[in-house]
Chains A and B, each alone.
Chain A
Amino acid sequence: MQFPLLSFIVFTPMIAGMLILLIPGERKTEIRMAALAAGAFALALSIWAYFAYDVTAGGYQFVEKYQWLPQLGISYFVGLDGMNAPLVLLTGVVMFTGVLISWGIDDRPREFFAFLFILATGVFGVFVALDLFMLFFFYEIAVFPMYLLISIWGWKVTREYAAMKLTLYLFIGSVVSLVGALAMYYVSGLGTFDMVAMEQANFSVDFQRLVFPFVFFGFAVLGGIFPFHNWSPDGHVAAPTAVSMFHAGVLMKLGAFAALRVGIMLLPEGAKFHMPWIIVLTLVNVVYGAFIASVQNDFKYVIGFSSVSHMGLVAMGFATLNHNGMLGAGVQMFSHGVMTALFFAVVGMIYDQAHTREIPNLSGFRKVMPVVAIAFIVGGLVSMGMPGFSGFIAEFPIFMGLWNGQPSSLWNGYGWIAIIAAISIVITASYIIRIVGKVFFGQLPAEFDGHVHDVNMLDKVAVVFLSAIMIVVGVYPQIIVPLVQSGVENVMRLLGGA
């Protein structure tokens, strides 16, 4: 029997979380060491999976399938393809760096890490699930610990409100898509939740058009699609640093990915019918998100809204329903995950020292934390789509996807969307430059003098690691592009296009 790599990846965090709970709560160093070991182990496994995936063979690999509730056609069915392999790696990266920068958590670290790891299991599970029921199962596992993590360890001012808002939004979203999923289950008549089988279910066109919006929007809520995005900045801001990293870095991809896996891949006719208007919503995401980000004074809200803007690009890439757009969206999910994890890590480090996130009150942090400043600048360049970094590698194909197809007139095609969306690049550049200039350069205010210190070695490792990934992808896109492309080909096959 083949080594069950994916099961190891999925359940390592959960088991580690349970084991950590067995350590006495006051032995904090041991708890942290155990968490770090688990994070490193999960990262190593996901790197292994990423590089062991055979691009030339394509398709689903490392497949494991066990009957779970055969009477209802539910099985534990996981597999890796080009679309989810980068996301598994991303989750491993964020989990590892999240543990590194959470070293300083002093309030019940045992429970914190346990919940964080349950969350990680849920996320890994959604990415690799090939069974619709399992996908929902892991989805709820991912959403539930979020509530506790935010409301217990979050920012005191808004944590109850934000945790409530986030959880309600996401549960409502998942219930809506569950309705769609159950409809698919019954209408298909296959008596199985196996998504690979459901791909061949031949749903009628009318059915697909009816159900697609439920499934797509139910998941896309978690992807932060306009107008259902406003849980996300509040949630990001209230969450503790590692949770924000997870939240924006990985959890939002969960929504986008599930919308792709369940919505677009199982209901391609529905996608073709609805995408022309959904793409307009994603345009609002991109441009409006950037505008809102540029007027925020709270550092964390800026990053929160920038996530809304960048996730809009992911949805936009999916909405083009063509090869380039999908490819760009796939790379953007990875790139944005790494970038935003870095951003939230940096914001957390500054807040820990300065105890404020008001941009006008921050200044001169380059002097105390030079490594963090450089890492943030790298992240900023990724964010503004600067060539040479991963953001460009992702955004360029998305825009090219908008130009594709040579429609009969400019207004039938998406060329005009590309032109408007391009505005967001300049707006993003302007707010990133403003933040870099204000927060990191200039004079360190007198009240911080002597009170702020450089971050510790673990934090440096985390931010350097994250920024190195973005540079490597930007300079050498071959490291991710063929993989994503093989995933895209599968999607395009279902969409009936080249």
Chain B
Amino acid sequence: MDLIYNNLLTLILFTPVLAALIVMLLPHKQENLVRWTAFVLSFIPLALSLVLWFSFNPNQPGFQFEQQVIWYPPINSSYHVGVDGISLTMVLLTTLLTPLSILASFSIKDRVKTYMVLFFLLEMGMLGVFLMLDLLLFFVFWEFGLVPMFFLINQWGSEKGEREVWGGRKIPARQYASFKFMIYTMAGSLGLLLAIQMIGAVSGTFDIPVLYQTWNSLTGTLFGLPVNVVKSIAFWAFAIAFAIKVPVWPFHTWLPDAHTEAPTAGSMILAGVLLKLGAYGFLRLVLPLYPAEAKYYAGALGFLAVMAIIFGALASYGQDDFKRLVAYSSVNHMGFVVLGIAAAAFVYGVDDPAMKQSANIALNGAVLQMFNHGLSAAGMFFLVGVIYERTHTRNLNEFGGLFPLLPVYGGILIFTSMASLGLPGLNGFISEFLVVRGAWPIFTLYTALAMIGLFFTGAYILKGIKQVLHGPLNEHWAGHVSEINARELFVIVPLMVLILLIGVWPNWILSVINKAVAMVFNLV
């Protein structure tokens, strides 16, 4: 037991790899065996992270369950893992969504084994980002996660659709989307890579807790430039890499394509966890490493966040493709996360307790919104997948009046949509309220505009519900669509329970987040 306890984070990180290896050894032909093994194995990381959740002490500052082993001595990089309240919630979200996504993937018929292996590798990549306290290994996992996702979109993405590329050549849409996803993110990470190298060369270490001290206390000149100029450039290198992942307007254009073409479970993980990597990067690295620069540019970041909220909602409203509609809604919702982060960044160095309090509220909201959006976006993408598997279309104009045919599905869709819309009593309301409440005294105008954006959020959500469930029945579907089945219920019900639970009693998770945020950002 002690063995498990002392290596808890390492176990959480690498049990997915072990699961991948086991799945790899199973025979090709027995697809059901592969599916069930993968499903059962995916509960191991979940169980371990529940152990972590309950043995985590929220009142203790700093990182817990730390482990440090030297990995690349000449450049002083070590395998250093640890969690605080922020990464803990993200780890829980990741390990929770993975079994559900694997269950959602039971309808995959093509090369099940490879698919499951990639899925476990993806899980490992994401967990690594949340757990690493070493800048170099953070980047290692940050980049590595792209590879399985690329193949999931490229190989198991939707089979229909074509995109015209340079020279009028037509290629399958999933190829286009996966290529764009990969190159966009890699190119965006180049600045991050260069900045990490620069920091490593200057500081002689990649250890994040050490860098919090040394990098911040750096003065004088670097490369013949004043330190704050170098830091400003490095700040933007970091910020752009993370902004692409979040994604913040105007860096969001890879997202609708990737989401739309990815297989259902891929979209669930993409929206549920992958986008949070970007926001997590802001919280773990940008704010602590560049507090002064973050404060200086907080207004710009807040502006981009508001643009994401408003344009995300408007773009979402304009879609005829159900999945694209949900994809743009992610841009809209993640905007609130960034708004909260920007508000907190702005308060750095301010001593006014009221402002600090607001910043604390905004950051709490941002972290909770990351978790909440993980639940509701995964749920929404799953529900889109469910209807797509039955109708083989995502065109909203071809649905209509399905509520009488699919009463249970309809109810679930409305429930999840309402969570996404921010209905009080469900989770989205809590976090968006916190962000808006916290950001109001700091960025009054932006917050006001963001709330107008919320109005459009309502509009696109209702549009989606109306086009699918209400209106005259499209006779084409009568007798052809079947109700949501038991397996699919098992995917969505845990998400709904959590959505409701956070909505009515947020304190169980907020208490963890709150203490972490207050301690990490010194906002007590």
Contact = CB atoms under 8 A, between A and B. Distances in A.
A396 B183 contact: no
A437 interface: yes
Interface string B128-139: 000000001001
Interface in B198-241: 198, 200-202, 222-225
B217 to A, nearest CB: 16
B179 A437 contact: yes
Interface in A313-329: 323-324, 327
B200 A425 contact: no
A485 to B, nearest CB: 5
Interface residues of A, number: 41
A388 interface: yes
Interface string A391-415: 0110011011011101111101101
Interface of B: 71-75, 136, 139-144, 147, 150, 154-155, 175, 179, 182-183, 186-187, 190, 193-194, 197-198, 200-202, 222-225
Given A381-B147, A386-B143, A441-B155, A406 B202 contact: yes
Given A407-B223, A477-B71, A392 B140 contact: yes
Contacts, number: 95
Nearest to B144: A388
6 contacts: A323-B74, A402-B197, A403-B198, A403-B200, A413-B223, A426-B190
Contact of A426 (B183, B201, B202): B183
Given A422-B193, A426-B190, A410 B223 contact: yes
Contact of A430 (B71, B142, B183, B190): B183
A403 B140 contact: no
Interface string A279-319: 00000000000000000000000000000000000000000
Contacts of A445: none
A477 B175 CA distance: 33
Interface of A: 323-324, 327, 381, 384, 386-388, 392-393, 396-397, 399-400, 402-404, 406-410, 412-413, 415, 418-419, 422-423, 425-426, 429-430, 433, 437, 441, 477-478, 481-482, 485
Nearest to B200: A400
A331 B201 CA distance: 18
A423 to B, nearest CB: 8
A327 B224 contact: no
Contacts of A418: 194, 197
B91 to A, nearest CB: 20
Given A410-B224, A433-B179, A478-B72, 9 more contacts: A386-B143, A388-B143, A388-B144, A399-B193, A400-B200, A412-B224, A422-B194, A426-B187, A477-B71
Given A426-B187, A433-B182, A400 B201 contact: yes
B134 to A, nearest CB: 12
Given A388-B144, A418-B194, A437-B179, A425 B73 contact: no
Contacts of B186: 384, 425-426, 429
Contacts of B193: 399, 422, 425
Q: Which of B136, B150, B198 has the most CB of A within 10 A?
A: B198
Q: Which of B71, B73, B224 has the most CB of A within 10 A?
A: B224
A485 B150 CA distance: 35
A413 B223 CA distance: 7
Given A392-B140, A400-B200, A433-B183, A477 B72 contact: yes
A478 B225 CA distance: 36
Contacts of B202: 403, 406
A321 to B, nearest CB: 15
A481 B143 CA distance: 22
Contacts of B155: 441
Nearest to B155: A441
A408 B220 CA distance: 12
Contacts of B183: 426, 429-430, 433
Contacts of B201: 324, 400, 403-404
A324 B75 contact: yes
Contacts of A327: 74
A469 B175 CA distance: 30
Contacts of B182: 429, 433
Contacts of A384: 186
A407 B139 CA distance: 26
B456 to A, nearest CB: 35
B144 to A, nearest CB: 5
Nearest to A323: B74
A387 B223 contact: no
A482 B200 contact: no
B73 A481 contact: yes
Nearest to A415: B223
A400 B143 contact: no
Contacts of B198: 403, 415
A393 B72 contact: yes
A387 B222 contact: no
